Chain A
Amino acid sequence: MRFQDAAKDARAVVYAGIQADPLVARLAALAADASYPERLMARAVMNGESDDPATWRAIFPTVLGPGVPRREHAEALLAASLEVAGRGEQVRSQVRGAFVEELTEVLVGRRFGAAGRPAIRRERRVLFDGVAAEIHPYDLTVEVPARAEAWDCKWGARGINADVLNQLDDARRHAAEEESTLRVGLAVFDLRTSCAIRLAQQTAPRQGTVIVTLETLDALGGRKAG
């Protein structure tokens, strides 16, 4: 099993610009330190229509109300989420996707510490002897011997489909055939119930794939959901 950079096609070049947007990193840093209610608020705002922060403060009194602990952090997350919502529809979707990837990287990075950070890579392929390479790279890989991981990141449960599940499971199986270990998973910035419903409608193998949802994102960093 070995890892390789994905070829840079035109789409990848454009998307790299989105990934490098400072808003993506700022939002991910805020979301990484957020609670489940704060993350739910961020998801709602980034999918919302209203650009008035007062509307969101009314909808989320337990997150943004007066006297709420960590309100300053929640307000910063609200402001960054509103910036995403303010982008045009297509860019908004791209930024949200890049955000989930960045958030996953930040959280996984916590589990491996500073020394392991260089082994956490983006947009990489996983190659196996005698097996044709997959077209699509993985959003995030951890390239640590005996602890390798491959993650796909999704804004919503609708992103879970047969292609994604098959690719992850194929990689896991091919690694096992080479007597290597590759942990595979999906990090989904959506609710567990929605992911469960989506998975229930898929026939692709998923038993060996870890699913991390909005409620359990902290598990990426090695912590139980708070």
Chain B
Amino acid sequence: MDRAAAERRRYASVVPETPSNLTPELPAVPTTRAEALSTALAALDALAELGETIEDEWSYVTALAEAGRARIRSATGPASSAALEPDRGVAVAAACAEVARITDPHRAIDWLSTFPAVVELALAIEPETAAPRPPASGGSTPPTGA
């Protein structure tokens, strides 16, 4: 059994293969950072496409997706064949499978905000340093702290 097959088997042992939580879109468990990047970006694009159906939120969704792609790229680092720890690959695949279940566009927008940070956490990059600046389309980064 090759490594990818072993990881898929491991994933299946973590997430029971029942119709309620397994979709045909379930991605293969990424075994490298490059695979994690492409898997996560595909999931993000699907979320953005769903969220864009809310016309009033189109510009917000577009900007959020752009920032999300940058955050995921930053979290995965230079896309390479560098191996991913098995549980991290499972985490990315499981997160992608979760967002693939989203059918409500409002919830998709909520996930568009959360998903890149979930991927970032799965790949264990410190969030404070990995978060990219938002698009410079006016306004300022909000003040933080109370």
Contact = CB atoms under 8 A, between A and B. Distances in A.
**Are both chains from one complex?**
yes
Interface of A: 36-37, 40, 43-44, 47-50, 52, 54-55, 57-63, 65, 108, 111, 156-158, 185, 190-202, 206, 210-213, 215-216, 219-220, 222, 224-225
A193 B15 contact: no
Q: What does DSSP make chain B's interface, helix, strand, loop or mixed?
A: helix
A212 B145 contact: yes
A49 B98 contact: yes
A13 B62 CA distance: 38
Contacts, number: 146
B114 A40 contact: yes
Interface size bracket, B side: 35 or more
A219 B91 contact: no
Contacts of A44: 98, 111, 114, 118
17 contacts: A55-B21, A58-B11, A63-B121, A157-B113, A158-B110, A190-B114, A192-B131, A193-B113, A196-B140, A197-B67, A199-B140, A200-B137, A210-B143, A212-B144, A212-B146, A219-B144, A224-B145
Contact of A216 (B57, B101, B131, B145): B145
A117 B1 CA distance: 61
Query: DSSP majority for the A interface?
Result: helix
Contacts of A59: 91, 94-95, 98, 118, 122
A213 B87 contact: no
A54 B102 contact: no
A37 B119 CA distance: 11
B90 interface: yes
A50 B101 contact: yes
Per CB-CB distance, the 6 closest pairs between chain A and chain B, nearest first, are: A200-B139, A211-B142, A58-B94, A194-B113, A219-B145, A49-B101
Interface in B11-69: 11, 14-16, 20-21, 57, 59-60, 63-64, 67
